[in-house]
A and B are shown apart, each in its own frame.
Chain A
Amino acid sequence: MTEETGRIQSISGPVVKCGGLPSVRMYEVVRVGHEQLIGEVIEVAEKSCTVQVYEETSGLAPGEPVVATGDTLSVELGPGLLGSIYDGIQRPLPDLRELSGDFITRGLTVEGLDKEKKWKFTPSVKAGDRVEAGDILGEIPETGIITSRILVPAGVKGEIVEIVSKGDYTVVETICKVKDDHGDVHEVRMMQRTPVRVGRPFKDRVGMDTPLVTGQRVIDTFMPQAKGGTGAIPGGFGTGKTVTLHQFAKWADAQVVVYVGCGERGNEMTEALEEWPDLKDPKSGRPLMERTVLIANTSNMPVAAREASIYVAVTIAEYFRDQGFDVALMADSTSRWAEALREISGRLGQLPSEEGYPAYLGSRLAQFYERGGRVKTLASEERLGSITLCGAVSPPGGDFSEPVTQATLRIVKVFWALDKDLAARRFFPAINTLTSYSLYHQTLERWHREHLGEDWPELVTEAMALLQKDQELREIVQLVGPDALPESERAILEAARMIKEDFLTQSALHEIDTFCPVGKTYRMLKIIVNFAKQMSKAVETGVGVRRILEFSVLDNIARMKITPWDSYEKTMDAIEKKMAREFQSLSAEPDGSSVMTPGVVQ
């Protein structure tokens, strides 16, 4: 594509109209003005085109040049992504700081990957091998956690005519030459450039039968996420969207995490940057930052780049998926992304639909979430990779009936509803168990039965039934007071209180409680549900709830949360024994009957 130069015709915020670029195409990247601001074509007319500019446009004047680049908005993919922090168009923030100081100025060009750094490459193929797109050419120990694989790029298939030997190479050196069936030789480098607005190709979608274990009890129990699944966390401000997403990013058992802060607070990104390098991955003991890519487009950074940041993030996630990793992508917040769409659409004078959002809001959201999933990647061998997408939604006034929440709920399979009332009582995570849901319970059932316990689904159902019953009883209590309830129902209230306080609340700040291994979650749930059952049985035989509440095992149960990750089994065994003993003691008392009839909780 030859370089063409056009002229700016008009400017309105981030939207610039320009003329004199006859062969410019949709979504082509252009350089705007004397300062060469980065922009992208979003509308093409006969004599003019409209560009959204990814940088602040103050001081730009009509008549300034616009240069087409012939390229679409792309990211650089290769070793060096992990541990980085980028802005919305993949410019590394540390490099920007070096160039322009503590504040981000305009017209800065920095490339996404370091072109000079050498990586230790170990080839796993030899000359003469036949390869196709997606096949592994070699490996690079990128960080202490992740060994990344260098793949044959899409569209390349044939015989290897040359491959470098084991050694140190930069991402732009040719490491391999592949001759295809037409006799053309393709040079393969470690770095690939991929356009962000279309998904990277894969072979097939496959079923999602493994949970993404988040280490958060309420989620792993009541609304589990699957590897490759999609989920949304809507909630008003202060309900803990960001904390929940940060918890996912820190503790979820994904291999690679891409976290995009889209139109949110600067300090939240700083928190991640300062805290995550010090946190250790529970499995490998290495800093969590070694498996993480951060993308920061904070609310005060240019709006148009906010729109792009989501695509940049998901393309990076796809790159790791194609290597066969389980990737989790957290987007905080998709509402800000939708608002960026709205702002651009408004400046283009497009006809608004609901609440000023453009009519294509729903389809854009769907396109984004559809890039998640568990797939068979390109490659001659069978390799599985997944992208789990979790997006925060910030509904105005906490009202879930607004367009972004509703459009999102039509697509995602897991819904974690944050509740303002719970947050106001500092009940965290403030996830409302009764309105939230996961559609993956059935597909994950087998995994749960095999890895946790045969009775897991029943325990979950019973706990949920208690919470549901509790909700109904509370309405009655509000009217008539707790004294009017029969003992059996007061037992249910107490059991629900235990589930809520001793199981569901989890402190993100406590060094142990912040993460709960799923095995521990299972044991805790089992103890509480068993306690509830036995309490109900005892009450049926005439024992007062008050008597049971005097059990000293209750103190142990209340402190189950803070038993260490690696030695909880013993503690749980002890609690179970003590619990059995204390219930036994009831039947020994004169007022309790020694015969207990089996009863179930309604």
Chain B
Amino acid sequence: MSKESSIVYRTVSDVSGPLLIVENTHNVSYNEVVKIRAPSGELMTGTVLETGRGRAVIQVFEGTRGLDTDLTAVRFTGETLKLPVSTEILGRVLDGSGQPLDKGPPLTAEDHWDIYGSPINPYARQYPRQPIQTGLSVIDGLNTLVRGQKLPIFSGSGLPHNRIAAQIVRQAKIPGEEGDFAIVFAAMGITATEAQYFMNSFEETGALEHTALFLNLANDPAIERIITPRAALTAAEYLAYESEMHVLVILTDMTNYAEALREISAARSEVPGRRGYPGYLYTDLSLIYERAGRIHGRRGTITQMPILSMPQDDMTHPIPDLSGYITEGQMIVGRGLHRRGIYPPIDPGPSLSRLMKEGIGEGMTRFDHKEVQAQLYYAYSEGRDLRDLVAVVGSEALTERDQKYLKFADKFEGEFINQGEYEDRSFEQTLDIGWNLLSDFPDRELKRCDPSTISWAKDRGAYKPR
């Protein structure tokens, strides 16, 4: 179907926003790559968004600055966008569309893969069941991350999501099994300082040599952000499914990606959905997120951790909302916790890991994990509710039981959630801290735990009711 054509069109009829419209075209296919030469001689790349009746609408990744209707030359390549893939991509720094930014040689290619990928056959998927130990109690203990999961971090401006992501990258491992591990990092519209922070952090731990970076920074063309996550995931798929590596993909910041999508949609005057985002935002995001997973008969896995900032901390904003419907849970960075000086300020209330239930327990983390998790959750949310009450009636009005829960909530935040940026806790440690905090309550208050588990914890010395 390849038809590398030598025909150069100079029939641009319209340039508007990120779009270019070419007339009198023949046989242009949907989504094919277009090479554009600006009057200044600059070369640009785009893809076809719409074709037919001798007309093609093209989105230009570099932006349309400098293009005109007179001298601009357009050539259709007959190919969809492809990324050269090989393991050599590790250790490289690339731009948002996969061109080398560092001083290294051009990318060598084992193969060229279509960056749009193909959906994984649900029948070929294998359910993610291996827990990843991040070393953060609030994640490992309450909302465990699993290999092959897509678990986003919902954050807001001014919150330490980057520090959390960097700590996870530093510490993430599967206890007792050190496999080939790689990181693919895709930056969309983040600042150079933030990108530098990540690079330094990777370098510090020696992670840089097994990391591939795709950088589209804040001052890079916005439309290029449409392909950055796709190029990054294509590289990840190669590493996972061909080279049998466990790949952690960090996508930051998905909000910028969605805004680029909105820009194109608006330029095409499509009917907008909520807040001006296109109606297909859900489908589009799912094409990215659903590329995480595990496949039967292949050793490698893709775990995704997209980071997105919620405008105004509003979780009902279309970007976090639609993401939450696709991803397998979410980590919410809470401003309240952050202000109280708790790090990592991940708020257990609205945070959730959907795949946790299959990834914890006997043989994976520890047999009591489910019960401890349920009990901690119960006690903490009781305590949080009482805080609201105390604000109105004062703490003297509470019963003795309620006082205990109130105190528990504070201790839980201070000792369980709170930990150092370089503190790496094992699953065992995390669960024992949990039991220790539950020691404030008598046995019969622990309704979420089996009596046999409680006595096991007593024997272990982890649970010492006072």
Contacts and interface: CB of A to CB of B under 8 A. Distances in A.
Interface of A: 8-13, 17, 34, 56-63, 85, 93-94, 96-97, 100-105, 236-238, 261, 263, 265-267, 269-271, 273-274, 296, 298-301, 303, 336, 339, 342-343, 346, 352, 355-356, 394, 396-399, 420, 423-426, 477-483, 501, 509, 555, 558
Contacts of B355: 267
B282 A339 contact: yes
Contacts of A399: 316
Contact of B274 (A396, A424, A425): A396
B46 interface: no
Interface in B262-292: 270-274, 279-280, 282-283, 286-287, 290-291
Given A266-B120, A266-B290, A482-B399, A425 B31 contact: no
A418 to B, nearest CB: 13
Contacts of A101: 124
B98 interface: no
B96 interface: no
* Minimum-distance CB pairs A-B, first 4: A10-B52, A397-B316, A299-B286, A481-B393
11 contacts: A57-B31, A58-B116, A61-B51, A63-B26, A93-B123, A102-B120, A236-B324, A238-B329, A267-B125, A481-B393, A482-B402
A479 B119 contact: no
Interface string B120-138: 1111111110000000000
Given A59-B80, A478-B388, A396 B321 contact: yes
A398 B49 CA distance: 32
A47 to B, nearest CB: 12
Contact of B51 (A10, A266, A299, A501): A10
B258 interface: no
B377 interface: yes
Contacts of A270: 122, 125-127
Nearest to B57: A12
Contacts of A558: 447
A102 B121 contact: yes
Given A270-B127, A481-B392, A59 B357 contact: no
Contact of B350 (A104, A238, A394): A238
Nearest to B81: A58
Given A346-B270, A352-B271, A299 B290 contact: yes
Given A58-B80, A426-B378, A12 B118 contact: no
Size bracket, chain B contacts: 35 or more
Interface string B425-464: 0000000000000000000100100000000000000000
A17 to B, nearest CB: 7
A103 B118 contact: yes
A60 B120 contact: no
B326 interface: yes
B41 interface: no
Given A13-B280, A34-B1, A62-B51, 15 more contacts: A60-B29, A61-B29, A97-B124, A104-B121, A237-B324, A266-B120, A271-B358, A296-B123, A299-B282, A299-B326, A300-B119, A339-B280, A356-B279, A479-B392, A509-B370
A599 to B, nearest CB: 25
B30 A59 contact: yes
A271 B123 CA distance: 10
A483 B273 contact: no
Contacts of B329: 238
Contact of B27 (A17, A63, A105, A482): A63
Contact of B123 (A17, A85, A299, A339): A85
A61 B28 contact: yes
Nearest to B370: A509
Contacts of A479: 392
A59 B50 contact: no
B282 A93 contact: no
A343 B116 contact: no
A13 B322 CA distance: 20
A91 to B, nearest CB: 10
A394 B452 CA distance: 40
A476 B399 CA distance: 17
B117 interface: yes
B463 to A, nearest CB: 18
Most buried by A among B28, B118, B355, B392: B118
B21 interface: no
Contacts of A397: 315-317, 321
A151 to B, nearest CB: 30
Nearest to B380: A425
Contacts of A100: 121
Nearest to A477: B389
A164 B124 CA distance: 40
Nearest to B31: A58
A103 B127 CA distance: 16
B295 interface: yes
Nearest to A94: B123
A424 B350 contact: yes
Interface string B305-338: 0000000000111100110111011100000000
Contacts of B287: 299-300
Interface string B165-176: 000000000000
Interface string B12-54: 0000000000000011111110000000000000000111110
Nearest to B287: A300
